[in-house]
Amino acid sequence: MKEIVLIKLGEMVLKGLNRRTFEDVLIKNIKYRLRGLGRFEIKIAQSTIYIDPLSEDTDLDDVCERIGEVFGIVSFSRACVCEKDLDDILDKAALYCKEYLEDASTFKVESKRSDKRFPYKSPEISAQVGGRLLSTCPHLKVDVKEPEVTVTVEVRDFGAYIRCGAIRGQGGMPVGTSGLATVLISGGIDSPVAAYMMAKRGLKLNAVHFESPPYTSERARIKVEKLLRQVSRYAGSIEMHTVPLTKVQETMRDRCPEELFTILLRRVMMKIASRVAEETKSGALITGESLGQVASQTMYALNCTNAAADKIVFRPLIGMDKQEIINISRRIGTFETSIEPYEDCCTIFTPKHPRTKPILRFVEQAEREAGLDELIEEAIANTTVKTIDF
């Protein structure tokens, strides 16, 4: 029995003339995500993508796991391929559904006939298949309202397909269809979630990470690489720019008012990230800021930070509670790594009483007096780049 995976597309089916582009990007992303699992024939028709494994040893469970991580997919399912012939459909339904129905007590059959040349109408197909399944699994009862298993028969252009239920996909839009954006990633819980959320809206990502050896450890950077690797399951490959901030932070410590350390640091990060974005043709910055979470994320502080950015800053977590963020982080698999305890740039030289209502004029003055902007050039020049991929 030949089995394939059928994929239903997300909101991109609403797109007009651009739809083809969206579909092409999605198929490219799916192909990339399935690399290493064997050879596939992938085709699209009637808002459905068909993934047909060509290698013998391909495990469709692995395929489904990966498909479940690709943005732009509403739902997907394994399906058994039949001839467009009622007898073949009936025989295969009996064989194929057995495993799914063995432990169920109720079921129903739904049919969709998009190929109107098929001589049986949908209700007739359902009745026939239902009858056959009842005779092969006599313990079953039909329940059209709340069945434990829904068997779907689709008669489509290329053939007929039987599936038992469907799995919800990630939704969202195919990565890359919205352009490229730069995420500022620290190693905490929030920034990987922010990256995931914006990738879901179709952004391809690159990342800026700051480190201050010897105050921060190589382990902190490895932790961030691990986080980005997890995000790349959804977002595709991510170019990670690691920028050394030791000199900037030491200068700040020596020459700036303590209560401004945090805000000054955030502004330096925005300036550097804007430069990286400019050089990599990225159109926006992404941060994990959430209003009021810490001193640097008050409305007043965010205004000062924002003024240092040259690009639009996406802050998808701005209105979320910590617990909501943690829930997403657990779901996407970054939480356990995020809570590994290593110092990062934001946790060293922290002031005892950071200013929660900084005033931009004074902040800019402190920057000028310390000559921070000149140090930024040096930091950028010493940036290292690494591609992170799952």
Partner 1 sequence: METHYLDNSATTAVCKAAADKALYMMTDNYGNPSSLHKMGIRAEEEVEKAREIIAGTLSVDSREIIFTSGGTEANNTAVFGAAQALRRRGDRVIVSAVEHPSVHESAKRLSELGFDVHYAPVDKDGAVDIEALKALLNNKTILVSVMAVNNETGTIQPIERVSKLVHKLSPEALFHCDAVQAYCKTPLKPQKYGVDLMTVSAHKIHGAKGAGALYIRSGARISPLLYGGEQQKKLRPGTESSPLIAAFGAAAAEADIQADSGYIRELSSYALGLLRQTDGISINSPEDALPYIINISAEGIRSETMLHHLESAGVYISSSSACAKGKRSYVLEAMGLSDSRIDSSLRISFSKYNTKEDIDALTAGLRTGIATLQRR
Radius of gyration of the chain (CA): 26
218 binds partner 1 (CB under 8 A): yes
The only residue of 31, 141, 219, 322 in contact with partner 1, by rule CB under 8 A = 219
Minimum distance of partner 1 from residue 330's CB (angstroms): 10
Minimum distance of partner 1 from residue 137's CB (angstroms): 15
Amino acid at site 252? M
24 binds partner 1 (CB under 8 A): no
The only residue of 14, 16, 55, 103 in contact with partner 1, by rule CB under 8 A = 103
Query: From CA 133, how far away is CA 143, in angstroms rounded?
Result: 13
59 binds partner 1 (CB under 8 A): yes
The pair of structure tokens assigned to 144 is 């059209």
The only residue of 57, 146, 254, 374 in contact with partner 1, by rule CB under 8 A = 57
Query: From CA 302, how far away is CA 290, in angstroms rounded?
Result: 10
222 binds partner 1 (CB under 8 A): yes
Phi-psi map region of 302: left, alpha, beta (phi>0 left; psi -120 to 50 alpha): alpha
Look at residues 90, 100, 214, 93 and name the one whose alpha carbon lies nearest to residue 149: 100
Minimum distance of partner 1 from residue 387's CB (angstroms): 18
Please work out, in degrees rounded to the nearest 5, the angle formed at the alpha carbon of residue 271 by the alpha carbons of 266 and 273. Answer: 90
- Name the DSSP letter for residue 258: G
What is the helix (H) or strand (E) element at residue 193, kind and residue range?
helix 190-200
The only residue of 62, 278, 378, 389 in contact with partner 1, by rule CB under 8 A = 62
293 binds partner 1 (CB under 8 A): no
CB of 98 closer than 8 Å to CB of 132: no
Residue (219 or 255) nearer to partner 1, CB: 219
The only residue of 24, 324, 336, 378 in contact with partner 1, by rule CB under 8 A = 336
Region from 10-18, 27-35, 55-63, 344-352 binding partner 1, contact rule CB under 8 A: 55-63
Residue (180 or 222) nearer to partner 1, CB: 222
CB of 149 closer than 8 Å to CB of 143: no
The residues of the shown chain that bind partner 1, judged by CB under 8 A, are 57, 59, 61-62, 103, 217-219, 222, 333, 336
